[in-house]
Amino acid sequence: MKNQDILDAQAIMAMSPPSTLKSMRQTAEHYRRDDFSLKQTLNYCLSGRVDLKRPEGIEIDKHLLLHMNAFPAWRLGEPKKDALRITHEMWREAKEERRLTFRPEHQPAWLKHDRQTLRFYAYFQEPVHDNPTENYRVRYCLLLFYLEDGTMQIMEPRIENSGLLQGAFLKRHRFPRPDGSGFFTMEDLKLSTDVIIYTRVFRIIDCDPFTKWFYEQCNLDVGQASEPLSDNFFENEVVRRAHFLLRRRLVPKDVKESREYTEIMLGGSRKNVGLKQHLDNDRKVLRFFCYWDDKTNYGMRSYYVIHYFLADDTVEILECYPKNSGKREFPTFLKPEDFEVGRMITVYNRQFHLYDCDDFTRDFYLKYTGLRQDKEEIVDEPLELPKIQWKPHVLGLSTEEDTLASCLNIAKLVKETREDEDRRFIISVRERDNTIMVFEIRKNNSGHVGGKFADAGKKIDSVTGKTYTAADFYIGAIVNINTVAFAIIDADERTLNHMQDHPAKYPVSDFTKIKNKISGVLHALKEGNVQTLSRAELQYHLCGVLLVSRMAPA
């Protein structure tokens, strides 16, 4: 079927006039092709972009070609002109210039419209919530259309102290149409029309002169410009402030300060505003006497004195209070005469006692007022620290006696290494349920975290297999908690007193038994017969003496 189409095309070409031969040849070549994909004509060669599209053929007039050089000068015997000698350097520069300034006959968009942008002025309305003065805000922006690749960008001009995030409102890319039929082109952008971009409606009101000229060259209608829309904030605040400043002929404070700063930085002098007025009218005051006749209920006539200071055009109004008027006078500032060592001053209902001053203040008062400011000796009252009797909170789980019986013992590790020599632990024992908890005392730069070492609960001796009770904890005892051996070396005062008050529960704290055990060593010490005791017996009895001395009542 394909070969038959080619034969038919050749037959038509044979019977066609010469004017249509070119189009017929293109048709025949089209049928001979097997690959109908769009070829890429853009390529990069010698660090530059090159268009590989073949130029169209040039039609040459054969008659002009035959008679172009029919009578050359060398055949007529005319003298030859000195031809320009082109060096290799000149040829290379000319080649580089041709490469850099090359413009194809049909330029692509990225080359023809390089750095050309259509700029439109638009705005959109933003809703404002929880504001009784306005329900929407108008935000103006620039809509940019780049001709080189058809991308668009939306920029919002930055306004100082606007409180809005302004600048790049929408980054540069191709904007899709809301109906999904493709991307926006320059035909979709016209003045006085609404453009929906990502569900937001933009109203195009104007464009720059280049955009209008470009639309005219493309025979496109750009539309008519429309008036911008103003919101309540612009009408009520900005316009009112501008009219007020124009009517008063005032300059905003920030603009005025900026001008003065710039003038000083450029070498100008600082203006002494009001200096002449101050020098001419210093200590000159106009005084007027007036009254205010208050005719409301329980009103009265009040008298005042008005002072007008000519030095700086300020006014002061003083109220004249008659005696027993029932009104409080205006507060007055403290004066140097009010400060005297040994006196009290009242500041915001607080009494401050002056007891001393520095040397400069003392010399000032002595020179100008003749008052001698002597230092007052202050005798601090002895600080009495209250005795706090600690008593735990009674939860009602047991009796008060059992609640108080929470013993704290200080222990250390039995098998100590070099790193564990300074580690100390607190063993807390609750008598009512024999609950045991172990804490490690934190110490800086020890390498140990400290804190809770063993959770609260009943502990079993890993050696004997028995459950520990409160009676198993006393100074000198060794307990195994969680396979760790602890040697109890101390206890707090409340724990020792509690154990001494209950000798039946704590036999090691029974003062009578301890007295009977150490009576022999006490008698030996008294008689001086220490040699009769063995070393182990003497050490055992001396430890008991130390324990009794700590537990004995004062």
Q: Which residue bears the tokens 């009218």? A: 281
- pLDDT in the model for residue 75: 52
Whose CA is closest to 109, among 42, 178, 179? 42
- pLDDT in the model for residue 260: 84
- pLDDT in the model for residue 430: 84
pLDDT tens string 441-497: 888 877 787 888 888 888 888 778 888 888 888 888 888 888 788 888 888 888 888
Task: Check residues 434 and 245 and name the one with the higher pLDDT.
Answer: 434
pLDDT tens string 14-66: 555 554 555 656 666 665 666 666 777 778 777 777 777 777 666 667 676 66
Secondary structure (3-state) at 37:
coil
- pLDDT in the model for residue 403: 42
How many whole angstroms separate alpha carbon 115 and alpha carbon 385?
A: 85
- pLDDT in the model for residue 521: 65
Mean pLDDT, range 97-101, rounded to an integer? 80
Whose CA is closest to 474, among 423, 408, 414, 540? 408
With contact defined as beta carbons under 8 Å apart, do 230 and 125 qualify? no
Mean pLDDT, range 318-323, rounded to an integer? 84
| Sheet order of strands, 117-127 included | 167-173, 152-156, 136-146, 117-127, 200-207, 193-197
Q: Is 274 a residue whose pLDDT tops 50?
A: yes
- As given in the structure block, the two tokens for residue 315 are 């006014």
- pLDDT in the model for residue 549: 42
**Range with the poorest average pLDDT among 1-5, 125-129, 202-206, 490-494:** 1-5
Task: Check residues 232 and 360 and name the one with the higher pLDDT.
Answer: 360
Secondary structure (3-state) at 43:
strand
- pLDDT in the model for residue 529: 54
Strand residue runs (E) in 392-505: 406-413, 425-430, 435-440, 451-457, 478-481, 484-491
- pLDDT in the model for residue 402: 45
**Range with the poorest average pLDDT among 77-86, 109-118, 208-217:** 77-86
- pLDDT in the model for residue 523: 66
Q: Is 159 a residue whose pLDDT tops 70?
A: yes
Amino acid at 360: F
**Range with the poorest average pLDDT among 99-108, 358-367, 516-525:** 516-525
DSSP 8-state assignment for residue 235: I
- The count of C-alpha atoms lying within 13 angstroms of the C-alpha of 249, restricted to the half-sphere facing its C-beta, is 0
- As given in the structure block, the two tokens for residue 479 are 């307990």
Write out the H or E segment, with its range, that includes residue 497.
helix 493-501
Task: Check residues 513 and 97 and name the one with the higher pLDDT.
Answer: 97
Q: Is 172 a residue whose pLDDT tops 70?
A: yes
Task: Check residues 30 and 148 and name the one with the higher pLDDT.
Answer: 148
Q: Name, in order, each residue with C-beta under 8 angstroms of 367's C-beta and a sequence gap of 6 or more.
A: none
Mean pLDDT, range 232-243, rounded to an integer? 74
- pLDDT in the model for residue 178: 92
CA dihedral for 17, 21, 23, 25, sign (positive or negative):
positive
pLDDT tens string 329-370: 766 778 888 899 988 988 888 899 999 999 999 999 998 888
Judging by DSSP bridges, how do beta strands 451-457 and 478-481 pair with one another?
A: unpaired
Tell me how far the alpha carbon of residue 239 is from its chain's centroid: 34
Alpha helices in 101-201 (DSSP H): 109-112
Task: Check residues 537 and 411 and name the one with the higher pLDDT.
Answer: 411
**Range with the poorest average pLDDT among 43-52, 383-392, 542-551:** 542-551
Q: Which residues pair with 316 in a beta bridge?
A: 307
What confidence category does residue 87 fall into, taking pLDDT thresholds of 50, 70 and 90? confident
Question: What is the longest distance spanned by two Cα atoms in the chain?
Answer: 163
Total residue length of the chain: 554
- pLDDT in the model for residue 465: 80
Helix-strand-coil split of the chain, %, nearest 5: 30, 25, 45
At residue 435, φ and ψ (nearest 5 deg) are -85, 130
- pLDDT in the model for residue 129: 86
Q: What is the mean pLDDT of the chain?
A: 78
With contact defined as beta carbons under 8 Å apart, do 420 and 437 qualify? no
Whose CA is closest to 407, among 512, 463, 477? 477
Q: Is 540 a residue whose pLDDT tops 60?
A: no
With contact defined as beta carbons under 8 Å apart, do 511 and 500 qualify? yes
Q: How many CB atoms lie within 10 A of CB 130?
A: 4
How many whole angstroms separate alpha carbon 426 and alpha carbon 409?
A: 6
Task: Check residues 95 and 65 and name the one with the higher pLDDT.
Answer: 95
